[in-house]
Structure 1
């Protein structure tokens, strides 16, 4: 860049406006740029517009909790790609990262983003590490099966869901319908495996909100009491355990053979209420198998 610019026209000024904003211009160019801004209302308006855009981007990104793996992936991708000359400007890189982070975070929170299997596993591991070990069992299957799933526009029929769930666990469907708010539609009912462990999973959806009833058979020695967890609720002689991380609330109880979880993105209080309502019927059903 010519370090002795006596004056700039509008085209030259706008080409270097972001460098000026980042305080990357030499002293004589700063004087020339500021002199032009003081005399040109159109360029002054462009200056103000860019400042406001930066402020909005920073505010929007800071207002959203970024998934733990996201920043590392973006930085790695940017390092792996040789940028054109325009990208060498610091403000462009910052703005692009802000837009990518904001767009990806919003898409992620709305459930529209389908990540790679490795990224899904990384996210589940990062979230699950913040709650007690046995509570992770239900949370992991909820995220794996429900959060990262693209549900159909219309809910399947009860007959279809009962068939997928199988005759042994099909009786859970009327229990769920009886106790879950009517605006939630049963979108998934099946037997699945996650990390080699079998699960019975019923998932309901209302808008962007999700509720899962997750049931797993106990492995040897598994017990909430054995992990020295303290029950937060007791109903019909059923101790219930609560935990949560980020937007997820987890409430659980155990029978002799099963671990039972309600996992949702509702409030912890609402999640506990759902479990309080369902637990006696679910426990009686499982005990009858």
Structure 2
């Protein structure tokens, strides 16, 4: 009876057993969650066998995924952390990494992945010279990472320059258009008869267009100011037209219009002298 009681006591699990066992590091856990997310498989995912993971798009990985898990967007820093935890880059043509304890669907193995420190190395190796066969591939890998970052930064700089150049062109165009409008308004204010004569020409154009109403296509000019519409119509490109392509209010148009304004002013002045 006593023997059976003692055997049952030995077979019962101890309540504190396993409570003090260290879990996986936060870096390894976050990396596993990041790779295991099916929504980002086009950026980072497991390989076909689930024995390694691949960063398919390093740029998107650095810009969108790393900040969510590690609060930074430095891909080279992430790769150095992988090396610290014993991950190895196994493909030269792509960013594929593996670790014996990092397998798809086996989260329980993550606790076996430990951070490598100098104190964990054998004493005979702590002060030994680095092995060129190990150091050179790592240096090449870090160089490739830096070159990729430099290329990305140059591309962003080029895009920024193109954007700034396009904005400068738009601003210059708007300023030119504003100057032409102000010049036209100044001519109109200084010569009230100019507008009357322009309105008369507009009426003549409208009357001439009535007879060809069946051939005229009405065009929408909702985004055009009344002054611009009047100016276009005075040049034969008003709200209604019979032929010819649509004409924009470019520099050549305004120069032609202002030259016509000057000729109209001369006509008005001559009429005053004769009267």
Same fold (TM over 0.5): no
Name the one with the larger strand percent: 1
Superposition TM-score, scaled by structure 1 size = 0.26
Superposition TM-score, scaled by structure 2 size = 0.27
Name the one with the larger helix percent: 2
